[in-house]
Amino acid sequence: MDKVIVLDFGSQYTQLIARKIRELGIFSEILPFSVPLSRLKRENPGAIILSGGPQSVYGEEAVLASREIIEMGIPILGICYGLQLMAYLLGGKVVPSETLSLSRN
């Protein structure tokens, strides 16, 4: 794998994610979530990481990426908001849990 693109949705951990990938010996580049699909395709990444962010996919200010990113045929990892976004773009539904379990079994 030559390159991993980290799409930034406003997470405070985006820089840390990219650094950890580089520590594994893989080039990583951070791009804004709004990067055009044509640019992503030109970059020809081996994988894409959708970072977290402070919003919900259902919020009025939600930032969305194109479903075509998922259809590029490369591995994608969604973290926090990025995972919500993947579920949303693929027709899933993101709902809060009815209970909070903090058991330590």
Question: What residues make up the domain containing 12?
Answer: 3-89
In a domain, 51, yes or no: yes
pLDDT tens, position by position, 34-71: 999 999 999 999 999 999 888 888 888 888 888 999 99
In a domain, 94, yes or no: no
Higher pLDDT, 63 or 7: 7
In a domain, 79, yes or no: yes
- Structural domain total, the chain: 1
In a domain, 98, yes or no: no
The sign of the CA dihedral 48, 49, 53, 58 is positive
In a domain, 103, yes or no: no
Q: Check which CATH number belongs to the domain holding 55 and give it.
A: 3.40.50.880
In a domain, 81, yes or no: yes
Considering only CA atoms, which of 15, 26, 70 is closest in space to residue 48? 70
